[in-house]
Amino acid sequence: MTMLSNAEPITTRKLKGRTRRAVTLSTKITPRELELISAASEADGRALGEWVREAILKAARSSSSAGLAADHLMTEIVALQLFLTEVLSPVACGEQICAERYQELMRNVKANKHRAAREVIAQYVGQNGEILHA
């Protein structure tokens, strides 16, 4: 996708209640894709450019929030793994865990879950950003 920019300096002045749009994105599509996009914008009652802009922004926001949700989910999965690793070993050996030890384990999990999740993710992502399958 090509990004074009006007030679004018970008200002923050408002234009019709919104910030001035000064950057142009360009891409090539097939005639069939144009038909699909045009039909969708007409069905939505919006100009083609407005519909495309909103579709791009919606996809970008969705992608960002999905990534954030996945990070949170991975963090909580790793937290559960940390907790179970710490609890199951003593229990499997017949030991009982007192309330103070349980609270200490919970504090430890909460303090270390983000670091541990980053380490787990790093194990699955190669140096060039490719996902490695374990």
- pLDDT, tens digit, 9 for 90 and up, residues 61-118: 777 677 777 888 989 999 999 999 999 988 899 999 899 999 999 999 999 999 999 8
**Model confidence pLDDT, tens digit, residues 26-47:** 889 999 999 999 999 999 999 9
**With 90 as the cut, is the pLDDT of residue 132 above it?**
no
Tokens (6 digits) for 50: 């407005």
Q: pTM of this prediction?
A: 0.48
Mean pLDDT of the chain: 83
- pLDDT at residue 125, rounded to an integer: 73
The residue-averaged pLDDT of 49-60 equals: 89
> At residue 131, does pLDDT exceed 60?
no
Is the pLDDT at 16 greater than 60? The verdict is yes
d(CA 105, CA 88): 12
Buried residues in 83-96 as b, exposed as e (16+ CB within 10 A): beebbeeeeeeeee
